[in-house]
Chain A
């Protein structure tokens, strides 16, 4: 079995949470080509505009190409409007592309950011090209394992620190069970003040094992 003949995949765990004043987004850092980890420190949190990010899962090539195209379109739109673009606009652009080319693409994207009109927002655009806004959204192959954890632990009205802890813990649990997710946890907080990024290395991840 030639593991290099497969396309690079972001088999992954990604997550985004809204809080009062912004969003917290997070992702693992593994890119695989078959069984080989092509990149163990990938950055799946891609800036689309100053205060709008996307979390990418699925085919690495497809999601990079879509993100580049949307970044261009949104930048142009923002210049025409002469103001910061809405997160919903960015999400709609992703949806347009993911739906129109749904047969050719393999991309699951979470769009999250802050705009002056509606504050922190998370929109999910899964494979197939649907778009919906959710207060908390998870994606990628590792997300299956943490639906129960996220459903039971999310509360509306969490603070920024609580959201960071919640996201880091959820992604750690997903990475522990999903062989296709791993590496480090990358987090970012997007708010009116701008973007703060952080990385949690493997040995600093929260510990759950009772062994």
Chain B
């Protein structure tokens, strides 16, 4: 079953990874594992942060080549802050996602990274956008990505409900990431969650020993 090893074909450091974002009543949660791997058997970092803040209430998480992802997010952060100064107002989440999409689409031959952009803005509230490998932009109520996401499609499809509370959404995200980390050998470490609402941005870390355990553990 080699079809889901596409990310590990990337040269250099790659984030074989699990990332997700989910909308709840009043905000979004964006989350990831914390493992960076080289090839399939060396863990180059156990505690990498894949949740990049591109503006006050807008975060991105990255899957694929770490180098490509860092380059794209750095450029997007710059362009977004410039745009925000020109407009004299906080940027829309869709604007951030569009900038990522332009970069990914115009450089699709060289780049090998996909993104989830999630955040809150005054116009549409909480939103999640997916920018895939070739530069497609899509808005979704919940989304998963990275090599570990294959294993949790069934789980998130079954468990997601629109308009969850913060506690339900946190449990949903933590469980989904823990399940993926349990089955995908290039995802692991700790669970990073960022909760974005109108009022604040909160970063939650769930260390390995506090992750939910399932029937065979």
Contact = CB atoms under 8 A, between A and B. Distances in A.
B42 interface: no
Interface in B53-106: none
Contact of B153 (A141, A156, A173): A173
A151 interface: yes
**4 tightest CB-CB pairs across the interface, nearest first?**
A149-B154, A148-B155, A148-B152, A146-B154
B216 A151 contact: yes
20 contacts: A144-B150, A144-B151, A145-B151, A145-B153, A146-B153, A147-B152, A147-B154, A147-B179, A147-B183, A148-B154, A148-B156, A149-B154, A149-B158, A151-B214, A151-B216, A152-B214, A154-B215, A170-B154, A173-B158, A209-B157
Contacts of B161: 210
Nearest to A174: B154
Contacts of B179: 147-148, 151-152
Query: For this complex, into which size category does the number of interface residues on chain A fall?
Result: 20 to 34
Most buried by A among B4, B155, B161, B183: B155
A169 interface: yes
Interface residues of B, number: 25
Nearest to A146: B154
Interface of B: 1, 3-4, 141, 150-158, 160-162, 175-176, 179-180, 182-183, 214-216
A147 B152 CA distance: 7
Contacts of A100: none
Contacts of A209: 157
Contacts of A173: 153-154, 157-158
Contacts of B158: 149, 169, 173, 208
Nearest to A126: B1
Contacts of A141: 1, 3
Interface string A77-119: 0000000000000000000000000000000000000000000
A148 B183 contact: yes
Contacts of B151: 144-145, 147-148
Contact of B176 (A148, A154, A177, A208): A148
B139 to A, nearest CB: 13
A151 B157 CA distance: 14
Interface in A151-181: 151-152, 154-156, 169-170, 173-174, 176-177
A151 B150 contact: no
A141 B152 CA distance: 14
Contacts of A177: 153-154, 157
Contacts of A148: 151-156, 176, 179-180, 183
Contacts of B3: 141
Most buried by B among A149, A154, A208: A149
A145 B152 CA distance: 6
B93 to A, nearest CB: 21
A152 B176 CA distance: 9
A155 B215 contact: yes
Nearest to B175: A152
B171 to A, nearest CB: 11
A149 B215 CA distance: 12
Contacts of A152: 155, 175, 179, 214
Contacts of A210: 141, 160-162
Contacts of A176: 157
A56 to B, nearest CB: 16
B115 to A, nearest CB: 21
Contacts of A156: 215
A94 B211 CA distance: 38
Nearest to B152: A148
Given A152-B179, A208-B157, A144 B215 contact: no
A209 B162 CA distance: 11
Interface in A191-208: 208
B141 A151 contact: no
